[in-house]
A = this chain, B = another copy of it.
Amino acid sequence: MSAYDASMTEPNPFRVENCSIERTLAVVGEKWTFLVLREAFNGVRRFADMQAGTGAPRQVLSARLARLVEEGLLRKVPYREPGSRRRDEYRLTQKGLDLYPIMVSLMHWGDRYEADPDGPPVVLTHRDCGSPIEIALRCADGHEVPSPREVTPRLGPGARLAG
Contacts and interface: CB of A to CB of B under 8 A. Distances in A.
Q: How large is the interface on A (under 10, 10 to 19, 20 to 34, 35 or more residues)?
A: 35 or more
B42 A135 contact: no
Contact of A98 (B112, B131, B159): B112
A135 B149 CA distance: 16
A119 to B, nearest CB: 4
A3 B45 CA distance: 11
A114 interface: yes
Nearest to A14: B122
B121 A24 contact: no
A11 B115 contact: no
B157 A118 contact: yes
A104 B108 CA distance: 14
A162 B150 CA distance: 41
Interface of A: 1-6, 11-12, 14-16, 18-27, 29-31, 34-35, 38-39, 41-46, 49, 52-53, 92, 95, 97-141, 143, 145, 147-160, 163
Given A1-B38, A23-B110, A132-B140, 17 more contacts: A1-B42, A2-B43, A3-B43, A11-B43, A16-B121, A20-B106, A21-B35, A22-B35, A24-B113, A98-B112, A102-B109, A115-B158, A117-B158, A121-B159, A123-B156, A124-B151, A136-B138
